[in-house]
Amino acid sequence: MRHRKAPPRPRGPVPPQIPHSERSARAESSLEPFSCAQRHPSMPCSPAAVVLLLLLPGAARAQLRIRQSPAQLWVRPGRTAELNCSTDSGWNVDRHRAVSWYREQPGSRLQFIYPSPDSSRSEGKYSQMRRAKGLFSFYINSAQREDSGFYYCASTSEPFEFGDGTRLVVTDATEPTLSILLPLDAELREPPRAAIPLLCHLYDAPKGWDTVRWHHGNVSPVTATSMDGRGVLSAWSLTWLTAEQWDGTVGCTAVQSSTGRTITVTIRQPSSTAQCLQWLPVVLLPSVLTIAVQLMLQLCRKTHTGGPGAPQPPQQCRHPRPSHRAAGWSQETEYAMVALRAPSPRVQ
């Protein structure tokens, strides 16, 4: 058998031999731009971790959050309303980031009212100040009732985000006006056959009137609010009245939680005597007028006799002229027919 000759050994120092396992590890590490430990020492080196680390810069940009405070704000007319807006991405907030402001009034679309290319500027009624890194304050000077509505701040660069909004209520009312709304077919003369809904309406509600107590024992919070086109805030509280709770009276009491002040409105069942007295003028007035007109016609038709065979015209009924002019009386015919024109009551 012939033996192959061994290859000649290279001249110079012999390089150290590297184990096969170490060579594989080095080859795999050379394929990565840098190791997991270099990215985040506490994160394990796994494919999922590598993908997550690669997505973190984009996630930081996508997680921009805009917060507004307060959620609701009441101010008196002529005062300055201050609304706050903060931007927070969870990582690094650009100190030069700006926000713009929008207003939404009842029955109208979102309206762009304040551009904010600079950190602090004033534009007539509106002004803004950047208080800190990512924190802005928006001012509405000399607020009036028509300034009531929802205000939103929004980012001016990607990602474009809106805040949750602030509801501004401009009012000088110290307490709401209460009323009770019943179904059209509901009557208080007898117990209801089925439970009927009752609404306590708080019109032009100031701050803090958030609880309603019903006279039949129920206590309910203010569960719904709305604002009309004039900027007046209304609130409602709903309850149900059963036959067992019925006593002929319905009433609700609004409570201001901060001060304990209360106001009450009550609806009572009308009595039979009151109902009769209510219809009495309607029934008696036409009867009295009819009798009076008939008596006057009989007096005016009396005739007097003249010479024999001479026909005589009917005598005009001459009424004494009053010392002053009475509104509603007028002579319209030669027989002095009197027309009663009662002036209609003026609605206040």
pTM of the shown model: 0.58
Residue 346 sits at φ, ψ, to 5 deg, of -80, 130
**How many folded domains does the chain comprise?**
2
CB 174 within 8 A of CB 206: yes
Burial (CB < 10 A; 0-12, 13-18, 19+), residue 15, is: exposed
Give me the domain span that covers residue 93. 65-170
What is the mean pLDDT of the segment spanning 77-85?
96
**75 and 115 share one domain:** yes
Q: Is 53 inside a domain boundary? A: no
Same structural domain for residues 134 and 207?
A: no
Pick the last residue of a domain from 124, 153, 170. Answer: 170
In this structure, which amino acid lies at residue 184? L
Q: What is the CA radius of gyration of the chain?
A: 44
Q: 337 pLDDT band (50/70/90 cuts)?
A: very low
**Together in a domain, 157 and 184:** no
Residue 210 maps to a domain? yes
Tell me: do 194 and 240 sit in the same domain.
yes
Same domain, 72 and 161: yes
Q: Dmax of the chain from CA atoms?
A: 188
Q: What is the DSSP letter of 171?
A: -
Question: Both 106 and 201 in a single domain?
Answer: no
In a domain, 241, yes or no: yes
Whether residue 134 is contained in a domain is answered as yes
For residue range 289-334, list pLDDT tens digits in order: 777 777 777 776 654 445 455 445 545 445 445 444 444 433 343 3
User: Which conformational region is residue 340 in: left (phi greater than 0), alpha (psi within -120 to 50 degrees), or beta?
Assistant: beta
Between 43 and 100, the more confident residue is 100
The reply to whether 163 and 193 lie within a common domain is no
Residue 30, in any domain of the structure? no
Q: What is the rounded distance in angstroms from the CA atom of residue 214 to the CA atom of residue 253?
A: 6
* Same domain flag for 119 and 200: no
Residue predicted with more confidence, 245 or 37: 245
Burial zone of 138 (CB within 10 Å; 0-12 exposed, 13-18 middle, 19+ buried):
buried
Domain's final residue, options 268, 299, 315: 268
Last residue of a domain, one of 268, 287, 309: 268
What is the percent of the chain where pLDDT is above 70? 57
CATH of the domain at 137: 2.60.40.10
Please check whether residues 141 and 107 belong to one and the same domain. Answer: yes
